[in-house]
Amino acid sequence: MERTAIPGSGNPIRALPLPQRMRDFSRRVPCAVVLAGILSAILPGILAPEWLLPRMLLPVLLTLAVLFPLGARETLFKVLLPALAASVSLLLAEHANRNEPAALFADFRPETGIEAELLVTEPSVCGKAAKLPNPSMVRCRLIRARFSPGSSWREVNGTVMASFPKDTPPFSYGDRLRAEGILSFPSGSPVPGAFNYGEYLARRGIRCLFRTAAMPEFKGHETSPYSLLLSGRDLLLGRLLSGMDSESDRALTAALLFGCLQGIDSEGRNDFIRSGTIHILTVSGLHIGMFAGALFFLLAFLPFRAKLLTVPFLTLLYTLATGLQMPAFRAFLMLFCWCVLRAFLLRGSGINSVFMACSLLLLWNPFQVRDAGFQYSFLCVIFLVATAPVASQWVRMAFERDSWRPAKTVSPALFLKRKFLFWLWLSLAGCLTAWAASFALTLFYQGISVPFALPANLLVLPLAWVSFLIFCTAIVPCLVIPQTAEFFSPLLALPSAGIARVCDFFAKLDDFTLTAPPLWSIFAGIAALGILYVASNRKVFLASLGLLLFLMFFWCSGLFSPNAPEIAVLYGGRQETPAFALSLPEYRFSVIANPGDFLSAQSAVTYLKQRGHSRLSMLILSEPGRDFAAGAKYIFPKMNVDTLLLPEFRRSSVHAVEAVERGRRSGTRIVFLKKNGEETVFNSQKIKTFSKNNEFSFDISHFDFNIHIRMLARIDGITEMEFADGRNRWSRKWVFPRRKEQSATLFPLENAAAREERNRIE
């Protein structure tokens, strides 16, 4: 805290008044004040769009609050005008979202059959040169469409996410396609708090999906400067990957260097999530920093100013080649400001550059503030940049004795050892800061604690830097002399293989699934961490540390976890027969039955993970058909399954065959029911299933908990469902009408102890 002396007073030192400290902060970090003005206009409109009064009053109140300490001029340029610009940007974004051309063409109908002409605008497609498959979802511009071959074409010019058959030849950026398919709106998750794909796309200005089962017809290619840049990237990537024998090494190298994730399956991606290293698959500040660092190393022979002006230009080309994602743009903007200021011997503020990048991105797209990636990126970078001077000072204090030694007495080996230890401890401090800053968000969004993220990143990051050093060295030789790729390709495969093995090792140690904590505790934890780093008073430091440890204990101890038994019933959409997920957190027992499609499987897994289940005790399929088993194969990559219970089936039952094959690969116990209604006993579990004439029943017992579930699918599309305990002491009945969109209904249940307590009270 800054202090000033007052002549002639008994206490010669006192703290600066609050208005003066606010003025000093505004001059040191002006973009932080600008960001506050932008958020005051954006947050009310995004979090509570129906509340018009807070949307209008919050910017006004903030302006009045800072008018006296900052003055009229600074308040106008740093608060009022940014808030006005953010309000206009939010209104324009809302208008564009409501009037998205593809959604207007579909007339907001759930599904529409069309013939479409598409232009591929997905930067991650790599063409035939890289020999990588197409992404599962390809961003395209819907140029024009018609409802039938006999109708006239209508200009659309909207953006859609398109899916094509797996055997479709690889696309290139700028390809024009013609295909017949279904234009639909993405379905959101019916489980409260789960990831909503529809909202995720809407925040990026996309409202519709286009899927086709037929091979699209290639109609030409549109050439632009950006498509030429991406064609050069595809050519370079294809040559670098040509000498790699392992498909996993090829996929990981493409993802690490350019963010092309289409070669990595869901199981591999889950390994990166559980090990806490998923950030290396998304082009962000880490990649921009490693690329620029490798360039600084390779261009060390250039003069000082020429090097500082050349590296940002080359880094801009690399950033564009990766698709110019939000984290990459933020990192490039920070690098550009640092290099230009340093080239002209000027000083700048790193934290001010972070706030400037955040302000520009929010003005460009205000809806990004709700993205988990946006929150992760800026929260970690703000903590890293703000704490870097303190961390560097702490590390230098540990080596203070060595700094007093004369340079002539320090041998080269000792000098290298000191440098290595210094950067090792500084990297450890950075990894610890990033892990602590992202811990609360990881727990809230992913439901995992990733305790081994620190050692995993310490091993992965040096390997990633070696990959970028080899990559930057190979760019010019591989483009000019293609034969040199035979030398660089095996070198690139070595660090990629090492990264994959490190992530696989730490991912298999444990799942560490925890219940998502309340939102208020997330804000409290982030605030406590921030106070911990900036506190200059010992009491404040200890108080913030105690609060942070208290919150982490309650997050990891499971005290926030709901222990009451509950069942989630999923119905509607493609799930013609209701599926359900049974959760008994007290016994760590869970069941999923009859997931009929991907959305049902994903929703059931999300629901169980929200309630703290890291494993699925049992997956039950009443019948091997599509309505009961089509979603089963999607559960195994997302959750370990102990037992798969299903009736015997023929090889023609494709979905049941896929579920059994996935289960065997993941080590799941497969149990076949030889006859309908047979009781199966596993230790303390008793399971009996029955299905006949669209009537299905389940009798599930686990210790003192037992439940009877009966479902009847009527001809009119209405489903009757009944819950009862094993002795019919209580019974509940519900009726579910047929719905076009999938829905979820949660029903609390009672175990034996709860029923006895209720009966005693009654």
* Per-residue pLDDT reduced to its tens digit, 511-533: 677 777 888 888 888 888 888 88
Contact of 151 with 140, CB cutoff 8 Å? no
Question: For position 13, what pLDDT does the model report?
Answer: 45
- Measured CA distances, 381 to 114, 196, 238 (Å): 45, 26, 33
**Positions of the chain with pLDDT lower than 50, given as ranges:** 1-13, 758, 760-762
149: left (phi over 0), alpha (psi -120 to 50) or beta: alpha
Q: Indicate the angle between helix axes 225-241 and 453-480, nearest 10 degrees.
A: 100
Question: For position 704, what pLDDT does the model report?
Answer: 66
- Measured CA distances, 169 to 125, 174, 387 (Å): 11, 15, 48
Give the span between the Cα atoms of 759 and 747, in whole angstroms. Answer: 20
Give the span between the Cα atoms of 674 and 689, in whole angstroms. Answer: 11
| Residue position matching structure tokens 């996993």 | 248
Give the span between the Cα atoms of 313 and 317, in whole angstroms. Answer: 7
25: its two tokens: 């902060």
3-state secondary structure of 22: helix
Contact of 324 with 365, CB cutoff 8 Å? no
Which residues, 6+ apart, have CB-to-CB distance to 322 below 8 Å? Answer: 123, 258, 259, 283, 287, 328
Cross-strand bridge partners of residue 584: 589
3-state secondary structure of 139: strand
Give the span between the Cα atoms of 379 and 279, in whole angstroms. Answer: 14
Question: For position 747, what pLDDT does the model report?
Answer: 81
Contact of 22 with 32, CB cutoff 8 Å? no
Give phi and psi for 580, each to the nearest 5: -145, 155
118: left (phi over 0), alpha (psi -120 to 50) or beta: beta
318: its two tokens: 């690399």
Question: For position 8, what pLDDT does the model report?
Answer: 44
Question: For position 124, what pLDDT does the model report?
Answer: 86
Transcribe 220-252 into DSSP letters.
Answer: EE---HHHHHHHHHHHHHHHHHTT---HHHHHH
Give the span between the Cα atoms of 756 and 737, in whole angstroms. Answer: 34
Closest CA to 332 of 350, 316, 355, 309: 316
